[in-house]
Structure 1
Amino acid sequence: MSTVSISKDSFKASRKFYDDHNYPRGMSRSGDFTLQEVQILETYGVAFKELTNGTREPVTDEEQRFVDVCQGKELAESKLEKTWLKYQNKVLSPKQFHTLFGRTKVEASDDDTNSSDAEPIEIDTE
């Protein structure tokens, strides 16, 4: 597995990043990310999230570029930038739901539900 090189002052975080809300069984078990991407997200995800939502100011040129990429001012080039954008696309896009029976629920017609209002059927037994 190749390593990602960044400066020692960039993307520092005091804890690992886990998204238990969107990935309750872990990002590595989801099938959405490669092992390298999971490692990047767990290692730098806290810093990525803080930089993205503005609770942390960029302190290095790498972090400023990352913020610019997240804001759409620059195109993603590094593995870190591409991984975070991939994560955001997975989390922010609506989950697809597949079914064999279609999306709409079939409702019973009024004829099926009000059988007591129906006229009695006469049967000739002669």
Structure 2
Amino acid sequence: MSESFISNQRFFDNKNYPRGFSRHGDFTIKEAQLLEKFGQAFSELDSGKREPVTTEEKVFVSVCRGNQMPATENEKTWVKYMARINKPKRFHTLSGGKPQIDPSEDFSDVDD
């Protein structure tokens, strides 16, 4: 029987985690280790670049497609990673709403 999630490459995400997964604070040490060790395989399975071979990999792909809830550490870690990198970016604008001034405050230009 073949092993699941075999990859010859360590997984790094220099765009979202330039200092590494464990130094950013989003992941536990165990989760960071799982991502580094198996993340390349997770990514390839999720994107379809790699076909699942084992039952575990087939279930993993099903989780990635949203057909099943994550149950294993691998599945939960990958879902957490994907949620972190795909969350919508918050942005703030300074645009033309009415200024919020409390009319009960007394504004004057005269120094006391």
Matched, 1:53 2:24: no
Q: Stretches of 4+ moved more than 3 A in 1?
A: none
Partner of 1:104: 93
Matched, 1:29 2:18: no
Distance 1:69 1:106 in 2: 41
Q: Which residue of 2 aligns with 1:39?
A: 33
Instruction: Spell out, residue by residue over 1:39-72, the C-alpha distance to the aligned partner (whole angstroms, 9 max, x if none).
Output: 0000000000000000000000000000001111
Residue 67 (str. 1) matches residue 56 (str. 2): no
1:19 is aligned to 2:13: yes
Letter in 2 for 1:39: Q
- CA distance in 1 between counterparts of 2:57 and 2:19 reads 29
Q: Deviation string for 1:76-121 (max 9, x for gaps)? A: 1001100000000000112346xxxxx33268xxxxxxxxxxxxxx
Answer with 1 or 2: which has the greater Rg.
Answer: 1
Structure 2 counterpart of 1:77, one-letter code: A
Taking structure 1 as the reference length, what is the TM-score of the superposition? 0.71
CA contact (8 A) 2:2 2:54 kept: no
CA shift for structure 1 position 23: 0.7
RMSD across aligned C-alpha pairs, in angstroms? 1.7
Specify the code of the residue in structure 2 equivalent to 1:89.
Answer: A
Q: TM-score, normalised by structure 2?
A: 0.79
| Equivalenced residues, count | 96
Identical positions, percent? 49
